[in-house]
Amino acid sequence: MEHIRTTKVEQVKLLDRFSTSNKALTGTLYLTATHLLFIDSHQKETWILHHHIASVEKLALTTSGCPLVIQCKNFRIVHFIVPRERDCHDIYNSLLQLSKQAKYEDLYAFSYNPKQNDSERLRGWQLIDLAEEYKRMGVPNSNWQLSDANREYKICETYPRELYVPRIASKPIIVGSSKFRSKGRFPVLSYYHREKEAAVCRCSQPLSGFSARCLEDEHLLQAISKANPVNRYMYVMDTRPKHRMQSWWATQKDIGRIIVRISSKIWNDEKIRESHEQKRLNAMANRAAGKGYENEDNYSNIRFQFVGIENIHVMRSSLQKLLEVNGTKGLSVNDFYSGLESSGWLRHIKAVMDAAIFLTKAIMIENASVLVHCSDGWDRTSQVCSLGSLLLDSFYRTIRGFMVLIEKDWISFGHKFSERCGHLDSDPKEVSPVFTQFLECVWHLTEQFPQAFEFNEAFLLQIHEHIYSCQFGNFLGNCQKEREELKLKEKTYSLWPFLLDDQKKYLNPLYSPKSQAVAVLEPNTVSFNFKFWRNMYHQFDRTLHPRQSVFSIIMNMNEQNKQLENDIKDLESKIKQHKNKQTDGVLTKELLHSVRPESPTLKTSLCFKEQTLLPVNDALRTIEGSNPADNRYSEYAEEFSKSEPAVVSLEYGVARMTC
């Protein structure tokens, strides 16, 4: 690789992120074509994928060396100290190059080879079939049909080829509507509720500007509401905050005033036509034309509703603030909560959740169809539609169903993964944690409904990992058309089969699918139900985590139970066989005993894997990760080891200690 100048640096120190003393691990740093690897003196390896690197920072030279801080998109933060500045500089430059690729073809997915042949690869890609999914929902049916309008991506480039629309919506209506909607994203079916016969549809904002109307669009919405035989009224959910749209209206009025002023000027003076003011006016008028929401007067049978989810820029800076607060050394409880509050992150999560609940209620209680949109209909709309489907349909709460959900509402409907995740070196303003928020909402649901989901937290974290890893093709590109052009299905692998192969790791042992109570989830969004997701944002800060995992132990027990049950069955069948052969009961008894020693009870102590009972050395005296030295109160250990101060300086020593 042309970017790598130094492949190996020795005597590199890895600092503990939260320690206020400069405690460090010493080891060797390796730079490969795809990963940065640190191996410490205990032979523990830390792998960092280049694509995960969000930023690399070289701090001012210190006496011990040159500090290099790497922030990752999966919220890992590592702080190296490289002894020689030249090495540090080389690595810094290499990482800058390697973490920001200009072309899709340079991403890891195109070189990743999991040793599968082509047919296996193809089967992997065919694992999730959306046509099958729509069939499961119950479409096409008498009211909804598959439209071939976008078969060649002619109407909307960011939509998939196959779209479901009301049967009575003709092609001209669709085409007309798409011209009236931002980026051509006209209203299409996202989820169909079979029992209620109500639909969740999605689109982008109408380009209504001041007061423009579009009859085709109005017809299409009418067609959607007519496709619901029970309730003719439908909800139109604008997921943007009302106040923002109102301030937009205010600027509209300003523009109106300017126009009046300019027109009068034009009237007076023809020369003004080419003036600066005229140009500005045009720009503003253009911008105005690109925004809007449905006017209830023009559309029959709609109820318009704002739900306040902020835009991608607000979300990006909110997460940034959150991470800043959490990264603080010696963070106090009060700073943590005031930081959590001022970042607004949980408020945004709650807003997304509330929107999804609104959608669910509209369908379940009022039996009404819902049309969801934001501006372009690929960020907030995806969040609300997918979360709403998750609340409504228990299928999406299974491992495979969750994959389908992501494929449907995020990948196929053109959530711009590559731009939002910054896969390539592109506009940083397009980066935003929209999908992360969706995962966090799902996590909050798993916390509130511990038995409703087939998967566990590790599954969500793993998906989050691969959104950014660029190791698999699923999330590359910004829409289906782009993915086809990149020939991802021929050149890269799909993530899903790999997750399914590892399914055991992601199973929720408490999952009880038959429980009637969890058919439709009705989460409670009282503020105190929202918690900071430590396992996401501090995934790699092991010292902050619970020291023992309930999940792993229950999983283990479940496994054992199953195995024991199988053993019992085995034995019973053997007993039967034996009874057929001979009526001597003694032998069967012996048989039972002979199997006993293989009983998996011996494997129980999973949680103590890393420890021995005999305190051989320091590291073995506690559960791994739970060492007083790993925790912040260990800073006081210095007080312990300090030599006795003279009586005179005692007061000083005490004062320092307590401050």
Partner 1 sequence: MMFFFLFSVSGNASTPEFKKKKNSECLLRLRHEGLLNSCPAGVASCPASSCPFRSPRSPRLKLLESALLLGPRPTAGGMEFSELIRTGRAQAELLRGPGAPPLRGTLCVTGHHLLLSPGPQATSDLWLLLLRSVDSIEKRVAGDSGTITLRCKDLRVLQLDIEGVEATLDIARSIEALSSLESVITSFPFFYRPKGLRLGDAWHFHPPEHHYKRVARETNAWRLSEVNEDFSVCPSYPRAVIVPRAVDDDALARSARFRQGGRFPVLSYHHAPSGTVLLRSSQPLTGPQKRRCAEDEELLRAVLAGARPGARGFIVDTRSAQAAKQARMTGGGTEAKAAYPGWKRLHRPMERGRPLQESFVRLVEACGDLEQSMDRWLSRLEGCRWLAHVKEALSTACLAAQGMEREGACILVHGAEGTDSTLLVTSLAQLILDPLSRTMTGFQELVEREWIQAGHPFQLRCAHSAFSHARPKHEAPTFLLFLDCVWQLGRQFPLSLEFGEGLLLALFEHAYASPFGTFLCNSEKERCLCEVRTRTHSLWSGLNQPKEQRKLRNPLYVLNPLAIWPSVEPQSLRLWQGLFLRWTRPPEPSEAAWEKVWQIVTDKEKTEGSQPTVSASEPQP
Residue 531 binds partner 1 (CB under 8 A): yes
Token output for 113: 């080879």
The answer to whether 568 is a known ligand-binding residue is no
Decide if residue 344 touches partner 1 (CB under 8 A): yes
Footprint (CB under 8 A) of partner 1, residues 587-606: 599, 601, 604-605
Block residue for tokens 């499961």: 136
Q: Min. distance of Cβ 444 from partner 1 in angstroms?
A: 12
Contact partners, residue 631, CB within 8 Å, separation at least 6: 543
Report the residue number, 117 or 332, with the smaller CB distance to partner 1.
332
Apex 178 CA angle, 175 and 179, nearest 5: 90
311 is in an annotated binding site: yes
- Quick check: helix, strand or coil at residue 479? coil
Using CB under 8 A, which residues numbered 469 to 528 contact partner 1? 509-510, 512, 515, 517, 524, 526-528
What CA–CA distance (Å, rounded) separates 170 from 363?
25
CB 59 within 8 A of CB 92: no
CA-based nearest residue to 530, from 439, 451, 449, 444 = 444
- Nearest-approach distance from CB 461 to partner 1, in angstroms: 16
Amino acid in position 333: V
For the question of residue 374 being annotated catalytic, the response is yes
Select which of 88, 374, 470, 479 is catalytic: 374
CA distance 149 to 48: 44
Minimum Å gap between C-beta 17 and partner 1 is 11
129 annotated ligand binder: no
Nearer to partner 1, 8 or 589 (CB): 589
> Which neighbouring-strand residues pair with 507?
455
- Piece in contact with partner 1 (CB under 8 A), picked from 201-209, 368-376, 400-408, 651-659: 651-659
Both structure tokens of 37: 């690897």
- Considering only residues 547 to 566 of the shown chain, the ones binding partner 1 according to CB under 8 A are 547-550, 553-554, 557-558, 560-561, 564-565
Check the annotation: does 441 bind a ligand.
no
Least CB distance to partner 1 at residue 54 (A) = 20
Q: Is 377 annotated as a binding residue?
A: yes
What 3-state class would DSSP assign to 152?
coil
Residues 311-340 that bind partner 1 (CB under 8 A): 326, 331-338, 340
- Under rule CB under 8 A, residue 434 binds partner 1: no
- Examine residue 546 and tell whether it contacts partner 1 (CB under 8 A): yes
According to CB under 8 A, which residues from 5 to 24 bind partner 1?
A: 18
- Other C-beta atoms closer than 10 Å to the C-beta of 205 total 24
Q: Considering the rule CB under 8 A, would residue 26 count as an interface residue with partner 1? A: no
Nearest residue to 352 via CA among 400, 328, 398, 318:
318
Of 610-649, binders to partner 1 (CB under 8 A) are 611, 613, 615, 621-623, 626-628, 630-634, 636-637, 639-641, 644, 647
Query: 378: annotated binding-site residue?
Result: yes
CB of 642 to partner 1, least distance (A): 9
Neighbouring C-beta atoms of residue 600, cutoff 10 Å: 13
**What are 28's strand-pairing partners?**
39
**Rule CB under 8 A: is residue 243 a binding residue for partner 1?**
no
By CB under 8 A, tell whether 458 contacts partner 1.
no
Based on the shown chain and the rule CB under 8 A, indicate whether residue 350 belongs to the binding site for partner 1: yes
Tokens of 598: 């293989």
Identity of the residue numbered 494: S
Q: What is each CA distance from 199 to 203, 217, 649, in whole angstroms?
A: 13, 17, 76
394 is in an annotated binding site: no
Q: Is 379 annotated as a binding residue?
A: yes
Residue 629, token pair as written in the block: 């030295």
Size of the site for partner 1 (CB under 8 A): 86
Q: Around Cβ 429, how many Cβ atoms within 10 Å?
A: 10
List active site positions. Answer: 374
| Binding residue ranges | 311-312, 374-380
